[in-house]
Amino acid sequence: MNASASQTAEIHDISEAASVPHVQRHNFLVMAFYQISLRCGWIFKTESIVMPAFLDALGVSAWVRGFLPLFNRFGQSVPPMLLASSVAGTKQKKTTVMITMLLFAVSFFAIAFIWNLYAEEAWMPAVFLLIYALFFMVVGVHNLAARSVQGKLIRANRRGRLMLAGNVGGAIASVSLAYWLFPKWLPADGSHDFFGMFSFAGIMFVVCAFIAVVVIEPKDPQRKATQHLSNAIQDAKRTFREDPRFRRIALIGALTNTSIMLFPHYQPIAKEYLHLSLDNLMPWVIAQNLGMAVFSMILGPIADLKGNRAVIRLLLIVMIATPLLALFLIQQPWGGKLYWVVFVLVGMTPFSIGILFNYTLELTESSNHPRYLATLGLVVALPAALSPVVSYSMDLFGSPTPLFASVSFLLLIAWVLTFLLPEPRFGEALPEQQVEVTQSNSVTESE
C-alpha cells in the first residue's frame, strides 16, 4: 500500500443491486415524491409556527411549550436506539417506513377529533402532549428506517440532489396548499379550525405510507434483533469507541441541535412583543418553506460536489444569526414588517439535521447505518432534554434574551469545531486513524 493510500479512510457506497441505472432513477423519483408529499402534510404541523399557535389556543405558558422540543428529540433518539437492531434486521426497511407513516396519520386524526370534541376541557393540554410524545416516538423509528433506505438505495453524491428535489418540490406544493387552506382554518377573525388542519395532515401521511412501498429495495439477510436496553447502550458505546470521526460529528450535532429549543418561542414572542395576530401565520409558514427551497437549491449541489462538511459549516453561520435577528427585530417598532425573515432562516435547522445524518451515512457501510443513525439521534437529543427548564428562563427573566443569546453562542462553538471535521466523501481520515493505518501497514510489511 502506498503512502497516500495509508492516509485515507474507506469510502462507502450502495450495493451493486441498488446501483443499476433504471433502479436508481426509479428510486430517486419515488423518494423525491415521497418527501414532497410528506412536506405537504408536515407544513400543517410545523413546530415553529403551527404547534405553538395550537398551544396558545389551549392557553399554556412558555415552560409548557418547552416540552415540544423535548418530546421531539426524545422520540427521535431513545426509541430508535432501542429498535435500531430490529430495523437493521428487517429484510426491507420500506415496510417500517409505511407502518410508521400510518401511525403518523392515526396520531393527528386523534388530535383533530379530540380538539373538535373537547377543546375547552382543562385536561386537553395534557392529552395533547401525551399524544404528541407518542407521535414523535414513531417519528424517531420512521426517520431511522427512512434514512436507512436512503443510505441503502441512493448514492452519496446524489443525496444532495434528492434533498434539493424534495425541498424545492415540497415547498412549491406545500406553500400552495398553505396559501389556499391556512386562511380557511386559521382566520385572523373567527374560530380556529385545527380539526380541518390536523385531519388534512393525517390524510397526507396516509398518502406517504403508500408511496413508500413503491421503492425498489433489494432484500437484506434477516437478522435476529437484540432489543434489550443493555444491547442498545453497548451498540452506542461501540460506535463511539470505534470511530473518532463519529465522535466529532456527534459533538457538533449536539451543539447544533440546541437551536431546536427555540422553535416553540419564535411565534409567541412575535405575538407578545410585536402584537402580531394569527393572520401572520400563513405568510410565515410560506416564508419558512420557500426559504428551505432556496437554500436547498444552493446547498444541495454543494453537498454533492464538496461534501456535507462544507454545507454544515455554511448552515451554522445562518443558524447563529437567526436568534440574534429575532431579538433585534422584536425590539424595533418596525420589526413586525421584517419578522418573516426569521422564519426563512428557522427552516435551516431541520435542513441541518438532514445534512448531519447524510454525513454520518458516509462513515460506514449500510449494515451499520441503523446503529450509527440511532446513536447520533440519541446524542443530538440531549440538549432538548433541558428544553422545559431553559424555556422557564423566559418566564423567570421576563425576556427571551438570555436563552436566545446562549443558543447563538453554542452554535458558534459548533461552527468552530467543523474545522476539525474530516470529509469522508473524499476518504479523509483523522490524524489518529492515519497513524493506526500506517502502523498496521508496517506490521504487514515486516511479516
For helices 308-330 and 401-417, give the axis angle rounded to 10 degrees: 160
Q: What's the whole-number average pLDDT of the chain?
A: 83
pLDDT at 433: 53
pLDDT higher than threshold 50 for residue 6 = no
pLDDT at 211: 94
pLDDT higher than threshold 60 for residue 438 = no
Q: What is the pTM of this model?
A: 0.73
Q: Give the residues across from 8 on adjacent strands.
A: 428
Among 182-191, 284-293, 349-358, 391-400, which stretch is predicted with the lowest mean pLDDT?
A: 182-191
Express as a percent the part of the chain with pLDDT over 70: 89
pLDDT higher than threshold 50 for residue 4 = no
Strands (E), 266-380: none
pLDDT higher than threshold 60 for residue 411 = yes
Averaged pLDDT for residues 269-294: 83
pLDDT at 226: 60
Residues 217-232: tens digit of each pLDDT: 888 776 666 656 677 7
* CA distances (Å), origin 264, targets 129, 221, 308, 424: 14, 42, 28, 35
Q: Give the separation between CA 125 and CA 20, rounded to whole angstroms.
A: 50
Q: Are 79 and 139 in contact (CB under 8 A)?
A: no
Structural domain contains residue 378: yes
Domain around 68: 16-217+226-430
Q: Which has more pLDDT, 215 or 57?
A: 215
Structural domain contains residue 8: no
- The CA-based angle 437-242-385, given to 5 degrees, is 145
For 161, residues 6+ apart whose C-beta sits below 8 A from its C-beta are: 28, 300, 301, 304
Looking at the structure of the chain, the number of domains it has is 1
Return the C-alpha cell found at 376: 447520533
Structural domain contains residue 447: no
**Model confidence band, residue 113 (pLDDT cutoffs 50, 70, 90):** very high
Q: Are 49 and 350 in contact (CB under 8 A)?
A: no
Burial-class residue 337 by CB neighbours within 10 Å (0-12, 13-18, 19+): exposed
Structural domain contains residue 239: yes
Q: Give the separation between CA 231 and CA 375, rounded to whole angstroms.
A: 12
Structural domain contains residue 41: yes
Structural domain contains residue 442: no
- DSSP sequence for 272-290: HHH---GGGHHHHHHHHHH
**Model confidence band, residue 435 (pLDDT cutoffs 50, 70, 90):** very low
**Model confidence band, residue 436 (pLDDT cutoffs 50, 70, 90):** very low
pLDDT higher than threshold 60 for residue 27 = yes
Averaged pLDDT for residues 324-348: 91
DSSP assignment letter at 331 = T
pLDDT higher than threshold 60 for residue 3 = no
Q: Are 327 and 267 in contact (CB under 8 A)?
A: no
pLDDT higher than threshold 80 for residue 442 = no
Q: Give the separation between CA 261 and CA 322, rounded to whole angstroms.
A: 13
Q: Give the separation between CA 303 and CA 319, rounded to whole angstroms.
A: 18
> Which of 180-189, 237-246, 419-428 has maximum average pLDDT?
237-246
For helices 229-242 and 78-89, give the axis angle rounded to 10 degrees: 90
Q: Are 171 and 289 in contact (CB under 8 A)?
A: yes
Structural domain contains residue 437: no
Q: Give the separation between CA 86 and CA 227, rounded to whole angstroms.
A: 7
**Model confidence band, residue 445 (pLDDT cutoffs 50, 70, 90):** very low
Among 12-26, 35-49, 242-256, which stretch is predicted with the lowest mean pLDDT?
A: 12-26
pLDDT at 108: 95
State the CATH number of the domain containing residue 60.
1.20.1250.20
Q: Give the separation between CA 54 and CA 362, rounded to whole angstroms.
A: 39
pLDDT at 47: 78
pLDDT higher than threshold 90 for residue 292 = no
Return the C-alpha cell found at 394: 423566559
Q: Are 293 and 171 in contact (CB under 8 A)?
A: yes
Q: Which has more pLDDT, 440 or 157?
A: 157
Residues 56-70: tens digit of each pLDDT: 888 777 778 778 888
Structural domain contains residue 285: yes
pLDDT at 347: 79
Within 20-158, where are the H helices? 21-42, 50-58, 62-65, 67-75, 78-89, 94-118, 124-153
